[in-house]
Amino acid sequence: MKTIVSRIRERLSRQSFPHSAEDLRKSDLFAGWWYYSVELLPGLITKGQYPDSFPMLPRILLRNCDLRGTTCLDVGSMEGLLPVVMCRQGAKTVLATDAIDHCREKMAALRHYYGVKFEFHQVGLMYDLASKLRKSRRASFDVINLSGLLYHVFSPLMVLAGVRPLLKKNGLMIVSTNVVVDDSFAMQFNNAGRLQEEPNTFWYLSVGALDYLLRYLKLAPIDCLYIPHRDIKSPVRYVADVESGYLSVVCRAKDDPIPSREDNWMLKSAQHSWEYAGLIDWDFCNRQAVTRVPYSCTIEKNLLRDDIETVDLLRAASRRVIHEADGSSDAHILRLADIS
């Protein structure tokens, strides 16, 4: 019965979209506000919020993941650029999520024009995501993209804690966020809009803090890319009185926290902290299946830590730099011919 009801709802919710260039140009769909630039018909591209030169780092890194037959989650999907890319790279199932369904029609348009199928779940505020998705029985993923979100929430660590149990053992998570490039273990607050004028931007993690929190949550950094904010040509003001940029990190799920040699606190905290045990569903995490999803890029040896062989993000941020997109397929623009 549930299957029948689901099919009826799908038929009733199907939308019709313009088939001719003339009709599309005249439509509210094409003329409306878009986050990404998207080619809907040959040569007709919506006007997104980013310049064509601005590289989309998680998209570039995602090409190194073999997505064939995988289950993928994209957190904070907007119109669904990355879910489309995941589908085209061979993912078996893709779940797109966002706090509200403000891009429902545009997401449906991408499914239509790109001939892909992916689900969408409205999840509200991005906390406790594992519990929310478990209710829908979609709570186990080979690959998770968590990008462009941590600086938009009151508590970045709480969001990471809520997403972590959803990742399969040995799975891959791409975590991307604005950072301050220094070796402190701190977050800088966007007081008076000094870091960015956007009103939903709150925290910039230091690179050192991001590196530590990932390893604390049993995520081993294996690759990364970085763009300095000063290189971004945009009407949005990113540059402040600190060295800041956008860092995208590929992590491999591990069974235990990953302290450095001199760190005697991390394992003790993981074993005895009420917060660590109570806010992260490690029992559910430990019951996840093991995945073998490959990652094809091997990072330079001199960017790895000597003792634990994870990427030293502070060192790598100065070496793994992309200043601008080499082409549209590396940027925040989706074209009909793109397969990644």
Taking only the tens place, the pLDDT of each residue in 282-323 is 999 999 999 999 999 888 999 999 999 899 999 999 999 999
Q: What is the pLDDT of residue 241?
A: 78
What's the distance, CA 326 to chain centroid? 21
Q: Rounded distance, CA 303 to CA 299, Å?
A: 7
- Could you tell me the pTM of the whole model? 0.94
Q: Rounded distance, CA 9 to CA 117, Å?
A: 16
Q: What is the pLDDT of residue 8?
A: 45
Contacting residues for 153 by C-beta, under 8 A, at least 6 apart: 125, 126, 127, 159, 202, 203
Q: How far is CA 334 from CA 80, 296, 339, in A?
A: 10, 23, 10
pLDDT at 94 over 80: yes
The dihedrals phi and psi of 38, each to the nearest 5 degrees, come to -135, 130
Q: Within 13 Å of residue 314, how many CA atoms lie on the same side as its CB?
A: 16
pLDDT at 9 over 50: no
Least confident of 74-88, 178-192, 223-237, 261-275: 223-237
Q: Yes or no: say if 330 and 56 are a contact pair by the CB < 8 Å rule.
A: yes
Tell me the DSSP string of 262-285: T--SHHHHHHH-HHHHHHS-HHHH
If you average pLDDT over residues 192-196, what whole number do you get? Answer: 91
Among residues 248, 228, 220, the alpha carbon closest in space to that of 181 is found at 228
User: Which pLDDT band holds residue 239 (cuts at 50, 70, 90)?
Assistant: low
- Can you name the residues that pair with 173 across neighbouring β-strands? 144, 251
Q: How far is CA 243 from CA 38, 127, 235, 240, in A?
A: 32, 29, 19, 8
If you average pLDDT over residues 28-53, what whole number do you get? Answer: 95
Q: Yes or no: say if 285 and 141 are a contact pair by the CB < 8 Å rule.
A: no
Long-range contacts (CB closer than 8 Å, 24 or more residues apart) made by 206-209:
206/179, 206/180, 206/181, 206/182, 207/179, 207/180, 207/181, 207/182, 207/183, 207/247, 207/313, 207/314, 207/317, 208/182, 208/183, 208/184, 208/313, 208/314, 209/184, 209/185
